[in-house]
Each structure stands twice: as C-alpha cells, then as structure tokens.
Amino acid sequence: MRILLIGAGGVGSAFAAIAARRDFFESVVVADYVLASAEKTVASLGDPRFTAAQIDASSADQVEALARRSGATHVVKAVDPRFVIPVFNGAFAAGADYLDMAMSLSQKHPERPYEEVGVKLGDEQFAVAGDWEAAGRLALVGMGVEPGMSDVFARYAADHLFSEIDELGTRDGANLTVDGYDFAPSFSIWTTIEECLNPPVIWDVDDEGQGRWFTTEPFSEPEVFEFPEGIGPVECVNVEHEEVLLMPRWIKTKRATFKYGLGDEFISVLKTLHKLGLDRTDKVEVGGVEVSPRDVVAACLPNPADLGDKMHGKTCAGLWVTGKDKEGRPRSTYLYHVVDNDWSMKEYGHQCVVWQTAVNPVVALELLADGSWSGSGVLGPEAFDAVPFLELLTAYGSPWGQRDD
C-alpha cells in the first residue's frame, strides 16, 4: 500500500504520527498547499517511508498527477470538506482508492431549508458510486471519528446487540478546557461553522414503514446527555452530520440523529458569526482585496493543532442505540470511544480531538491492506464488519467502551 495523504494540518500530522508506528504500508507522501507544513510533519517522524510534497487540493488535476507520480494506491483527504470533490475525482482519475473523514458538502433546500433536504452531504459522491464500482475501485467515505466511529458502532450494534433498532443517536461531547483562551475551538472552525449552522438532518420512518430525511432548525431539540469516564452531563443539540446520511443506507433503523455538546457560549458565538455574515464562504472585497469572511475568522483564531499543551480533559464520540435486544427485550446501549488529552499528548504529541479523528482512517487502511475489509464503489463504514475494526483499534492502545442503561 502506497498512500498519498493530502493535508498536513492537525489531523494529517496526527495521521502520520499514528501510521509511523505501523508496518502495513510501503510509503506515505504527505502533501500540503504549504510545503513547509508537509516537510515539518515528515521531519518530526524520522521515518524514510514518509516524504513531503506540495499540492493545491482544489485541483483534481494536481491530485491525479501527484497520485500517479507517487504510485499511490490510496489517496486520503485530510483537508476541510470544500476540497472533497477535487480530491475524490483526482483519486479516481489516477486509478487509486480513496478515503475521507468528511463527505461532499450539502446545499440548503432553496425554499424550505428547515423542513426539507436540498443536496445532502455525500450526494455528489454517491451519485457516481456506479463508476467506482465498475472500475473496481473503493471510495471509503466518512471514515474519521465522526463520521466514522459511530458508524462502526452502528454496524456492531445491528450485528451483535439488537434485533430491532428504534434510534441510532450519535452523541458527542467533551469537558475540554484551553488555558489562556476564552474561545478556542479544538477542531477546524471552518468545518465547525459549516456543520453547526447548516440545517441539521434527521432520518425518520413513518407508521407505514416509509423512511425519509428531513431538516430542522440549527441547535434544535436540546437534551442533557451523561457522558462516560468522568466527562459527565453535557447539553447536546441537533447538528448537520454525515452519520445520519450514512447509517440508514446500510442499517435498518426507525430514526437516526446526531447531537453535539457545544455549550451555550459556543452556540452564541456561532449565532453571532451568522448574524454578521462572517460564516459566509463567498468572497467580499476589503481594501481592494477579495477575502472569504469564514477564512478570516479561521485566521484570527488559534490553530487547533497548536493547542494540545494548553488543553485539559477528555473528548467522547459515541452512539446511543435503543430498540430490542436479540431476545426481543427493550435495550438501551451507549457505545463510545474516549480519548484523554493528557494521554494523546504524552503518547503522540497531538491533541485528543485531532488524534481521535486521525486514528480511525489509519485503522481502516490497515484492515484494507490485510484484506479484513474489501469492497468497491462508494461505501461508508457501515458496509464493513465492525469486529476487526474494534479489535484493531484496541490493539492500537485506544479501547472502546459500552454502557448499558
């Protein structure tokens, strides 16, 4: 396996650090728009299997050319979601398999944005699934932590714990603090704005058994969820996320939701950015220079990858499943994965949120390399056996947990 990793930010650098401890691949080319970033990541590893390159991820032609030059068998997208389609298309043109941690972007319904779906997350990728399947190529989409981890849990729950599923409810939360900052997101603010201010999507099956996706208002249906391992109660709200678009494609469930523990302050900041138009991605002219307001916000905030030594606490990604167990009795189970920032910094030198995102694609690639997972087309994590993934994740030193309520 020869990997082209596009993106040397927090997640890309953590991916490289995790992969460097494994032996399932022959080489990794770390590519970034800023060559110095890729070179810094490679230099930190001291591993001859890793080399650096420069790339513009908005250009499918550049992705194809670098994939061909490096002989890449797999292209991994570790840049923000606006670059999904050029990287996805470039990988296909090069004859390589593809893996991402966030799918192609959505577009609101033009008339009823908070009731009906428009273009859904991943629609552009699933539209060409037949082309990937016909070519015998695999695009494994949504294989980060979220989406990714809870999608694996959904497969595990359906296969091993439940006979009927009422709801697959992704519930993510944390108790992280950052020294010296009143407001410092632990993940890409560009991506956070995108998913938190878009209309959240919910999957629901009616009394006649007909399923549909619909939308609601951002930050709707708040609930307090008790997170494990000392994190405690966190208020969670509806947020647009890929799990809701992935799970019903492979798993029979009456409902699918995604709720994220943001906190009142974070929600207030996001609402203010939206009110001022600072969440916009289209460029505006400022002093004769065209800039994207959202890019300006991102540039003004600290880089999440640089906050690790100031962060404290844990982050939790998980799936709350309700329904009937294999014997037909009512069951409520929370499957989860917790990472302590002190551990990830000490062990890998990367903060917990980016580390937790990065470990899952590395595990998935190792399963693809050894044949435990295989397939063609555009597939989500739900399409594969969950047990090898969960066993290998534990072998990486980061076990998952289960709580039966």
For the chain, how big is the Rg over CA atoms in Å?
20
User: What are the residue ranges of CATH 3.40.50.720 in the chain?
Assistant: 2-100
Burial bucket for residue 375 (CB in 10 Å: 0-12, 13-18, 19+): middle
| Longest distance between any two alpha carbons in the chain, whole Å | 68
What pLDDT was estimated at residue 281? 81
Residues 6+ apart with CB under 8 A from 183: 265, 266, 269, 301
Query: CA nearest 199: which of 250, 150, 168, 237?
Result: 237
What's the pTM? 0.91
User: What are the residue ranges of CATH 3.30.360.10 in the chain?
Assistant: 149-350
Place of tokens 């319904």: 109
Tokens representing residue 242 in the block: 């890929």
Measured CA to CA, the distance from residue 125 to residue 367 in angstroms comes to 22
Measured CA to CA, the distance from residue 28 to residue 363 in angstroms comes to 15
C-alpha 256: how far from chain center: 17
Domain 149-350 in this protein, CATH class: alpha beta
Ramachandran region, residue 258 (left: φ > 0; alpha: ψ -120 to 50; beta: rest): beta
SS3 321: strand
Burial bucket for residue 185 (CB in 10 Å: 0-12, 13-18, 19+): buried
List the beta bridge partners of residue 322. 167, 332
* CATH topology classification for 2-100: Rossmann fold (3.40.50)
The CA-atom distances, in angstroms, between 4 and each of 100, 107, 130, 268, 310 are 12, 29, 24, 39, 31
Contact 307, 351 (CB under 8 A): yes
SS3 125: helix
Across the 405 residues of the chain, what is the mean pLDDT of every consecutive 10-residue run?
Answer: 96 97 98 97 97 98 98 96 96 98 94 94 97 98 95 98 98 86 67 80 92 93 94 92 97 97 78 83 85 83 72 94 98 98 94 94 98 98 98 96 95
Burial bucket for residue 180 (CB in 10 Å: 0-12, 13-18, 19+): exposed
Tokens representing residue 373 in the block: 């997972």
What pLDDT was estimated at residue 186? 62
Q: Is the peptide bond preceding residue 113 cis, with omega within 30 degrees of 0?
A: no
